[in-house]
Structure 1
Amino acid sequence: MLSRRHFLTASGAAVATGTAAQTLAATGADQDKTTPAQDIDRSTAIYVPGYYAGSAWANGKRVVEHPVLARGLKPNDEHARLLSRIGLDGSIRQAVLPVHAHDVAVSPDRSVGILCGFNSGGHVAFDPDTLDVAALGAPFKKGWNGGGHAQFLPDGQGVLLSERAPFKSLRHTIESHHGRITIREPSTMRILESYSTHGIDPHDIRLVEDGRYLVIANYGSVIEKTSGKKAVPRRVVEASITTIEVASGRLVDKQLTGAEDTELRHLAAAGRDSVFAIQALLGDEESLARQTEFDDILYEADITTSRDSPYLSAATLRFSGNGAPPAEMGNEAATKLMRHGLSIKYDAKHHQVIASYPTTHRVMVFDAAEGALLHIIDTSAMGLRYPCGVTLLPDDTHYAVTGFWENLFVFERGTHRLVRDLCLYPMFFGHSHITAA
C-alpha cells in the first residue's frame, strides 16, 4: 500500500527538464488529402465518459437498467455515466458507472483508470480492461465536489485530482472559495494528502517537469447571493493559472487573466513558464445573435450546451510566466471561431498545441513558442461534427479527435492530415474529453 512518506519522497526526487522541440514552420493544412495508415499499436484504447446514459438502449432496455452494462450501479446511485472503451482494433466495450464524470485518467501501466467526478459527488476507480468498478472515492470533504480532472504521478503510485469547495457567493473570503488537490492511492481512492489550489473552482490540471510541479486552471467564478446559482454571463472574481510544488503543496506561481465574465477552464503545458489555456464565455441568445448576424451559413443550435446560455467567442491564452500578462493565441479571425473551447493538448515532438472548439466544428493548431496559428481544421467538412475530445496516441505519431455524440477520427501529428483508415464510428452519447492508453 502506498504511504504518504513514499509519495513525498518520490515527488521530491523528481528532476526538472527543459529541452524544447524545434518549431514547425507555419503551413496550411491540406484537408483534401488523407495520409495512409502506418503501423500502429492496435492494443491502444480510447476511453470516453458519455454524459447521457439515459439516452442509450441495449437489448430492449435502457442501459442504466441493463443487467450487464449497468452491473456497476446500485439502486440508490444518484449518478450514471456510460464509459466507452474504443480499441484501435475496432473493439468496443461499454459500461455504466456510478459517477458524474467529466474526464478519464489511466495509470502508466494501464492497471487502473479513474473516472473524474465533476460538480456533483466524488470519483470512481475502474479496471481499464473490463470497466468494472474497482473503488469509490468520496469528495475531499462533505459538501465538496470533484473538479473533473486527474493526473497520475510518473511512477503511477499516486493520482492527483482537482476538488471544488462548496459554492458560495462573493460575500465570503476569496480563500474560502479555493479548491484542493487530493493525492490518492489509485486502487483504493484513499486520500494520502491534499493541498490548496490557491484558486477558485479548480478544473483541468497538468504535471510538468517530471511531475515536480502541478499547473492548475481555476474557473474563478462564484454564485449569485440572491439565486444561489452562477449567472449568465458568469461573475468571475479570479480566473487564474496556479502552479504548486507537488511534494510540498507550496504555491510557486499565480497568474490572473483579469476577466470579469470569462472563465479559465482547460489547459496544456510545456513547462511552468509555457502554459496554454482555454477560456469560456457564456452569453444569452441576444448576445449570440449580435455575434453571428453576419454568418452567412445555415446552422443549428449548439447541441453541446443549453440554448439559454450559448458560448460566445473567447481567445485561447498563452502564459509565459515571469510576471508577463497572458497573450492571445492565433489571430482575430481565429478568435471569432473560438466558441466553447474544450480540449487542449501539447505535442512536445512538434512543439505545437492542439485545441478543439466544438461549437464551430473546428480544431486549431498553434505554435507553442509564439502562439501563432498554424492550422484551422473544419472537421464538419470531413464528417466529424462538434469535435470535443482530443488525445495524443502512445505511438508518438497520431492523435484522435472525437465528436460530441459519435465518431472518432485519427490525424497525423505535424501534418494534421486525416488518417481515414484509422477512423472509427462509435456512439458516445455526449462527452467532453477522451484519454488514450
Structure 2
Amino acid sequence: MTSRRGFLAGLLAAGVVPKPGWADAGDPAYLTAARLPDRSYWLFGLTETGDELFRLPLPDRGHAAAAHPARPEAVAFARRPGTFAVVIDCVTGASKAVLESPPGRHFYGHGAFSADGGLLFAPENDYKAARGVIGIWDAARGYARLGEFSSGGVGPHDARLLPDGETIVVANGGIETHPEAGRTKLNLSTMRPNLTYLRLDGTAVDQTELDPALHRNSIRHLAVGPDGLVAFAMQWEGDLAAHPPLLGLHRMGGTPRLLAAGDEDHRRMQGYAGSIALAPASGQVAITSPRGGLVQMFDTVTGTCLASHAGPDVCGVSDAGRGFLITAGTGIVSLAGAQGEIWRRRHACQWDNHLVRVARG
C-alpha cells in the first residue's frame, strides 16, 4: 500500500501541490486564546477532549478567533478596542498577515468568513461618526481591505454567517465608545441595541429591537444553528435590581423570544452573559457568566432552563455534541450537560472569553 508520504511525493513530482487542510494542523476541534503565567498571550488549538494540540504566540491579549472554513488558518482578533488582528498559519505558526484597522476604526474582537473562505467580515467601530461598520477583507488575496458597509446600528460586537451563505447577522450592542475615553460607555441613556441581518453586499434585509424598556440590554454575542436559529447573549447596563433576561432566540422575520432561569439562578448571573453556544443535536443553548460563575443550559423549544452549573470565572462555551465544552479563567476545561459535569481538566493558563468551534467541511 502506498504511504501517505509516498503519495504526496508523487503528487509533487507530477506538479500537483495538495492544499493544506485542518487535518495538517492536527485537526483541532476548538480555538481559544489564553494568557500564560509569564503574562504572554497565545492562541491554542484544542481537541474534543480539551487537550492541547498547539499553541501559537499572539502579540497581545486575544479575544476570539475566526477559523477559516477550509485552510488551517485563524484570524485572532485583539480585545476591544484593539486595532489589530493576526492571521496565523496553524500548521507552521507563522503570521501570514496582520490586519490593521483603518484610521478612525477599531475591531470588536470577532469576525466571520464567507462560506467559501474568500472574504472576512469584521465588526468595527467608526468612532468618529459613532456608528458601526462591517469591514470587508480579501482573505483570498492576502487580506487586503476591500471596503465596508453599515452594521445597521452602534457597537457591532459580533457577527455570524447564516446557513444560507448569503446573510450575516450582526449583534449591534448599542453602546457608543471612543478610544480616547477607554472603555467608558458614552450613551447609556440612549442605547438602542438590535439584531441586523445583512446580505454580503451590505443590503439590510431584517432588523429587530428589544422592547424599549430593555434598551439597556446590550446584545453582544451570537450563535447560529444549521436551521437558521440565532441565539444571542446580552449584558445589562441598567440597574441590576431589574434582572432582565440575558438570553434571546430569533429567526429572521420573526419576533425575539427572551429566556431566563428561575429567579434565584437568574440573579446569580449578575446581569452579564459572557458567551453563548447552540447544541443543535440536543436542541439546547447555553450561556455563561464569568461574573456570576455560572453556566446555564436551556431547551430551545420549551425555553425551560435545564441546568445551572457553577464554576469560577467560566466564560468560553461551545457545542460538544453530547454536551457543552466550557473554559474558565482558572485554566479549567470541562464537559458538561444538563445532567451535570462529565469531566474536567486543568491547564496552566488563563483562558480568555471565547471558545470557537472549528467547522468541519
Please indicate the TM-score interval, normalised by the length of the shorter structure: 0.7 to 0.9
| 2:279 alignment partner in structure 1 | 347
Code of the aligned partner of 1:389: G
| 1:217 alignment partner in structure 2 | 171
* CA distance in structure 2 between the partners assigned to 1:112 and 1:229 by the alignment: 30
Between the two proteins, the alignment pairs up a number of residues equal to: 326
**What CA deviation, in whole Å up to 9, does each residue of 1:240-263 have, x standing for no partner?**
1111112x2110111112334332
Code of the aligned partner of 1:215: V
Contact 2:150/2:202 (<8 A) preserved: yes
| 2:90 alignment partner in structure 1 | 128
Q: How much does 1:419 deviate?
A: 3.0
SS at match of 2:109: strand
| 2:15 alignment partner in structure 1 | none
Could you say if the C-alpha distance between residues 313 and 324 of structure 1 is closer, same or farther in structure 2, counting changes exceeding 3 Å?
closer
Match of 1:391 among 318, 321, 324: 318
| 2:106 alignment partner in structure 1 | 145
Could you say if the C-alpha distance between residues 256 and 321 of structure 1 is closer, same or farther in structure 2, counting changes exceeding 3 Å?
same
Contact 1:112/1:186 (<8 A) preserved: no
Could you say if the C-alpha distance between residues 392 and 326 of structure 1 is closer, same or farther in structure 2, counting changes exceeding 3 Å?
closer
* CA distance in structure 1 between the partners assigned to 2:92 and 2:207 by the alignment: 41
1:336 aligns with 2:267: yes
Q: How much does 1:149 deviate?
A: 1.0
Bigger strand fraction: 2
Could you say if the C-alpha distance between residues 323 and 112 of structure 1 is closer, same or farther in structure 2, counting changes exceeding 3 Å?
closer
| 1:436 alignment partner in structure 2 | 357
More deviation in 125-134 or 237-246?
125-134
1:360 aligns with 2:360: no
Q: How much does 1:229 deviate?
A: 6.2
Contact 1:313/1:337 (<8 A) preserved: no
Contact 1:386/1:403 (<8 A) preserved: yes
Could you say if the C-alpha distance between residues 272 and 253 of structure 1 is closer, same or farther in structure 2, counting changes exceeding 3 Å?
farther
Query: Which structure's relative contact order is higher, taking Cα pairs within 8 Å and 6+ residues apart?
Result: 1
* CA distance in structure 2 between the partners assigned to 1:89 and 1:362 by the alignment: 19
Code of the aligned partner of 1:316: L
* CA distance in structure 1 between the partners assigned to 2:137 and 2:187 by the alignment: 35
* CA distance in structure 2 between the partners assigned to 1:240 and 1:227 by the alignment: 24
Contact 2:245/2:260 (<8 A) preserved: no
TM-score, scaled to structure 1: 0.66
* CA distance in structure 1 between the partners assigned to 2:186 and 2:145 by the alignment: 35
Code of the aligned partner of 1:386: D
| 2:137 alignment partner in structure 1 | 184
Q: How much does 1:391 deviate?
A: 1.7
Could you say if the C-alpha distance between residues 137 and 333 of structure 1 is closer, same or farther in structure 2, counting changes exceeding 3 Å?
same
* CA distance in structure 1 between the partners assigned to 2:230 and 2:85 by the alignment: 27
Q: How much does 1:99 deviate?
A: 4.8
* CA distance in structure 2 between the partners assigned to 1:351 and 1:231 by the alignment: 35
| 1:410 alignment partner in structure 2 | 335
| 2:57 alignment partner in structure 1 | 96
Code of the aligned partner of 2:136: I
* CA distance in structure 1 between the partners assigned to 2:251 and 2:110 by the alignment: 23
Code of the aligned partner of 1:145: H
More deviation in 254-263 or 359-368?
254-263
Code of the aligned partner of 2:231: F
Q: How much does 1:318 deviate?
A: 2.8
Q: How much does 1:416 deviate?
A: 5.1
SS at match of 1:335: helix
Q: How much does 1:220 deviate?
A: 0.3
SS at match of 1:109: coil
**What CA deviation, in whole Å up to 9, does each residue of 1:8-55 have, x standing for no partner?**
xxxxxxxxxxxxxxxxxxxxxxxxxxxxxxxxxx843532212x56xx
* CA distance in structure 2 between the partners assigned to 1:313 and 1:404 by the alignment: 26
Match of 1:165 among 94, 118, 126: 126
**What CA deviation, in whole Å up to 9, does each residue of 1:147-174 have, x standing for no partner?**
21122222223222211111x5xxxxxx
Q: How much does 1:84 deviate?
A: 2.7
1:48 aligns with 2:32: yes
**What CA deviation, in whole Å up to 9, does each residue of 1:352-378 have, x standing for no partner?**
212112222221112223432222223
* CA distance in structure 1 between the partners assigned to 2:182 and 2:308 by the alignment: 39
TM-score, scaled to structure 2: 0.78
Identical residues among aligned pairs (%)? 21
